[in-house]
Amino acid sequence: MIERQGFVNIVKPTGMTSFDVVSKVKKIMQTKKVGHLGTLDPAASGVLPIAVGKATKFFDYFLNKDKIYIAVAKFGVETDSGDSFGKIINTDNKDVSEEDFKSVLKNFIGRINQTPPKFSAIKIDGKKACDLARANVDFEIKSREIEIYDIKFLNKIDKNLFLFKVHCQAGTYIRTLVSDIAKSLDTVAITPVIIRIKSGVFEMQDAVTLEELENFPQLVTVEEVFKNLKKLTLNEQIAKKVLNGVKIKYNEISNQITLTQKEEFLIEYKGKIVGLYKLEDEIINPIVFIY
């Protein structure tokens, strides 16, 4: 297989798992080393960044980046999965008004506790929670603190049906958010539509479908993804240290590049990206080394 390195920003269709998309990209790009940078539920669609080759080393870096979603909240029905694909377990005839919905959104902005849904990819004793749930195994998922940076009401689509936008910390479950919003309104709800429009630096406007990738199997380079960062080109003397894992002091390269504390930047040597680095306490520290 051909050795490739870079990223693909895929529009994951509804119904496919993130693993399904990775398998497709492996075949299209003719390489085995492929991984996604943050799971999307099978019922969700939208931006799914895929790393290929040594770019998979950026997994941890991108996994914790902010996400933006557009979603639909449907009040009056509850399913075991929190979406429209699950089994209906409860219904309610309460009429939620636009004013009701808008009034509670502010209560969910900031740091809040959230219990991930049982139908999720979270591991419980080495097994996916969704697999245990489908097998009717009884288990508990611990709540955790997440952060919602902003929630915006977009439109009332129909009775008990609302479109909204969420900017949140990685690890936030939109289905749980909608369920918790419903509880605060003394009713139940599901999330029939979830579309991720941004994941870290990857945005919907730059994403491609699997069909488009198949017709034009082009990768986005590491340099293109981090195009807004400064870049240091190493000379032979400094390269010898960096490539051997020796940390260098800022004053050794300050005549070539000006950095502020905690600033991230790329290092290049002989036309190849060495990795992503950060200035910390006058020391140049690697975040991701890919040379």
Per-residue pLDDT, averaged over 132-158, amounts to 88
| Same domain as 269, residue 239 | yes
State yes or no: pLDDT of 286 exceeds 70: yes
Q: Which of 194, 213, 243 is the last residue of a domain?
A: 194
Q: Looking at the 3D structure of the chain, how many domains does it have?
A: 3
Q: Provide the pLDDT for residue 221.
A: 94
**Contact between residue 189 and residue 77 where contact means Cβ atoms under 8 Å apart:** yes
Choosing from 41, 60, 100, 186, the catalytic residue is 41
Angle between helices 98-105 and 174-184 (to 10 degrees): 110
State yes or no: pLDDT of 2 exceeds 60: no
| Same domain as 264, residue 236 | yes
3-state DSSP assignment of residue 266: strand
| Tokens (6 digits) for 214 | 């198949």
Domain that holds residue 165: 67-194
| Same domain as 79, residue 59 | no
Per-residue pLDDT, averaged over 216-228, amounts to 94
To which residue do tokens 């990738």 refer? 213
1 lies in some domain: no
CATH number at residue 74: 3.30.2350.10
CATH number at residue 242: 2.30.130.10
Q: Which residues pair with 7 in a beta bridge?
A: 51, 220
10 Å CB burial of residue 24 (0-12, 13-18, 19+) is middle
State yes or no: pLDDT of 245 exceeds 50: yes
Q: Tell me: the pLDDT tens digits for 53-96?
A: 999 999 999 988 999 999 999 999 999 999 998 899 999 999 99
| Same domain as 177, residue 82 | yes
Whether 41 is catalytic is yes
| Same domain as 236, residue 218 | no
Nearest to 82 by CA among 198, 213, 17, 176: 176
**Contact between residue 38 and residue 58 where contact means Cβ atoms under 8 Å apart:** no
**In the chain, helix, strand, coil percent, each to 5?**
25, 35, 35
Per-residue pLDDT, averaged over 25-36, amounts to 93
With bands split at pLDDT 50, 70 and 90, how would you rate the model's confidence at 120? Answer: low
Residue 12 and residue 244: Cα distance in Å, rounded? 39
| Same domain as 240, residue 284 | yes
Q: Tell me: the pLDDT tens digits for 165-221?
A: 999 999 999 999 999 999 999 999 999 999 999 999 999 999 999 999 999 999 999
With bands split at pLDDT 50, 70 and 90, how would you rate the model's confidence at 1? Answer: very low
Total-model pTM: 0.90
107 lies in some domain: yes
Within 59-202, residue ranges assigned H as helices are: 59-63, 98-105, 129-134, 174-184
| Same domain as 157, residue 94 | yes
Q: Provide the pLDDT for residue 159.
A: 96
With bands split at pLDDT 50, 70 and 90, how would you rate the model's confidence at 238? Answer: very high
- The DSSP letter of residue 13 is P
